[in-house]
Structure 1
Amino acid sequence: MRKRIGVTASVLTLRSGVEGIFAGDDYTSAILQAGAMPVVLPMMTEEDEIQTLADQLDGLLLTGGVDLDPSYFGEEPIPQLGEVSPVRDEMEWKLTRAFLQLDKPIFAICRGMQVLNVAAGGSLYQDLAVQKRKVLQHMQKSPRWHASHEVMIEEGTKLASIFRKKQIRVNSFHHQSIKDAAPGFVVSGTAPDGVIEAVESPAHRYVVGVQWHPENMWRRHPIFYQLFKTFVDHC
């Protein structure tokens, strides 16, 4: 029986005014290719519903999306804060904490890594361009599969064992970023400008987050498929 991987989704309003959820095909296709069954999750915030999800799923894929409300890491919004999704924030916050408590595998991408870090007690830059000096272009103006900047990988980390390289090139589509890694988390990847590009938790069975979007790269750059395969294998 295939393992069931919960895939978080974005809230989307159609031109007709109908509101629904959306998860990119690149995410679900990667999970299917890795041998598991993706389950796109509806929006829910009740504690018993969240706990039921956490109990029944084998793994959690936290996907990219809009900004995280800074109240979750104890800050007021600055003018450069982008769109936020209150229901999604609440759901992912609760679900991530439930998965961490149950020690079930988590793979977090872009916004997902930020949610993971904050749920575990870390903080974020609300906007890199105004809050961190001399940063690279982290919102690239090239195709989503294009690798735009380097990431240095820390030896001895799960990320190093997956890639077996000291540095890789990744795509980049974010203006928020981790400021302080959560207590107990290890920074496993860093951009040349010092921006945190990957974190993981040695205290958990498998908890890995990356700031880039491997789901947009794995078909053209097969090395990034290993992130999904390793995650599914740990589920």
Structure 2
Amino acid sequence: MKTPVIGITLDSEEAGGYSKMPWYALRQNYADVVTASGGLPFALPHEPDFAAEYARLLDGLVVTGGAFDVDPGMFGATTRHDTVITKDRRTLFERRITEAMLAADKPVLGICGGQQLLHVILGGTLIQHIPDEVDNPLAHEQPNPRTEAGHDVKIVPGTLLHRIVGSDRLPVNSAHHQAAKDISDNITINAIAEDGVIEGIEDSRYRFCLGVQWHPEYMISTGDRLILDAFINAAAT
């Protein structure tokens, strides 16, 4: 098999901290796991007008997470929770390149916030703040390190995710205050937390269209490795 070129979306920050100018950022483990599974990482700056050109260059796409939210207007919400923070140019780019990759039936893996954006692109809506909409929620913004599990998820039998990980349960890390809510006819739920929060989605219309609410790039379980391997293998064929 060829070495697939895997686009990884960058985060962005305003001036301050690392640089006096606006800057891009990406945790190294996103690239490390792509390389370890046999892919060639390709960092993607936020250029919405060039999303289609980037998509033509890529064999697969990882839409990463970050400390920000999808604009509620994208899924038809008429109110915005006080905790919502948006990065409009990043989201516009990620939406356009995700749509271009799906249109070309190239593999897409959405991670955490990337899963939430994928859910919206596929026609779903989002919970804007879990503590306000879920009774007795788990600590989805876990207090322990992301290198450890925060809770388990139940994997739905018969789904792509179940075929990949070969297990009915998976320990996952958790770093989010929003989550998938209503689904469209195109969305299949593949993982659920004990409190009912949706933890994973997929769309069988595509060769590989998978979103997970946790961060498999930390590799806290064998299942995480299997997810990355399956994604890279799909991009290589």
Coarse TM-score class (shorter-chain normalised): over 0.9
Give the alignment partner of residue 47 of structure 2, picking from 44, 62, 70. Answer: 44
Are 1:88 and 2:90 an aligned pair? yes
Aligned-residue CA RMSD (Å): 1.3
Paired amino acid for 1:33: A
What SS class does the counterpart of residue 93 from structure 1 fall into?
Answer: helix
Are 1:31 and 2:44 an aligned pair? no
Separation in structure 2 between the aligned mates of residue 20 and residue 77 of structure 1, nearest angstrom: 30
Paired amino acid for 1:39: F
* TM-aligned CA deviation for residue 86 of structure 1: 0.6
Separation in structure 1 between the aligned mates of residue 214 and residue 189 of structure 2, nearest angstrom: 14
Q: Deviations over 1:85-127 (max 9, x none)?
A: 0100111111111111111100110000001011111110111
Paired amino acid for 1:230: A
* TM-aligned CA deviation for residue 52 of structure 1: 0.8
Q: For residues 49-198 of structure 1, what are the structure 2 equivalents within 5 Å?
A: 49-65=50-66, 66-198=68-200
What SS class does the counterpart of residue 121 from structure 1 fall into?
Answer: coil
* TM-aligned CA deviation for residue 77 of structure 1: 4.3
Paired amino acid for 2:113: R
Which TM-score applies when normalising by structure 1? 0.94
What SS class does the counterpart of residue 199 from structure 2 fall into?
Answer: strand
Contact 1:5 1:36 in 2 (8 A): yes
Separation in structure 1 between the aligned mates of residue 93 and residue 12 of structure 2, nearest angstrom: 12
What SS class does the counterpart of residue 48 from structure 2 fall into?
Answer: coil
Paired amino acid for 1:226: L
Separation in structure 2 between the aligned mates of residue 194 and residue 222 of structure 1, nearest angstrom: 24
Contact 1:148 1:171 in 2 (8 A): yes
Paired amino acid for 2:44: L
Contact 1:62 1:106 in 2 (8 A): yes
Q: For residues 206-217 of structure 1, what are the structure 2 equivalents within 5 Å?
A: 206-216=208-218
Contact 1:67 1:84 in 2 (8 A): yes
Name the structure 2 match of 1:19: 22
Contact 1:99 1:105 in 2 (8 A): yes
Separation in structure 1 between the aligned mates of residue 27 and residue 167 of structure 2, nearest angstrom: 28
Which TM-score applies when normalising by structure 2? 0.93
* TM-aligned CA deviation for residue 163 of structure 1: 1.3
Contact 1:135 1:193 in 2 (8 A): yes
Contact 2:123 2:186 in 1 (8 A): no
Contact 1:67 1:81 in 2 (8 A): no
* TM-aligned CA deviation for residue 82 of structure 1: 2.9
What percent of counterpart residues are identical? Answer: 33
Contact 1:80 1:126 in 2 (8 A): no
Contact 1:118 1:182 in 2 (8 A): no
* TM-aligned CA deviation for residue 185 of structure 1: 1.3
Name the structure 1 match of 2:227: 227
Paired amino acid for 2:34: I
Change (3 A) 1:78 1:27: same
Change (3 A) 1:121 1:79: closer
Contact 1:126 1:175 in 2 (8 A): yes
Change (3 A) 1:30 1:167: same
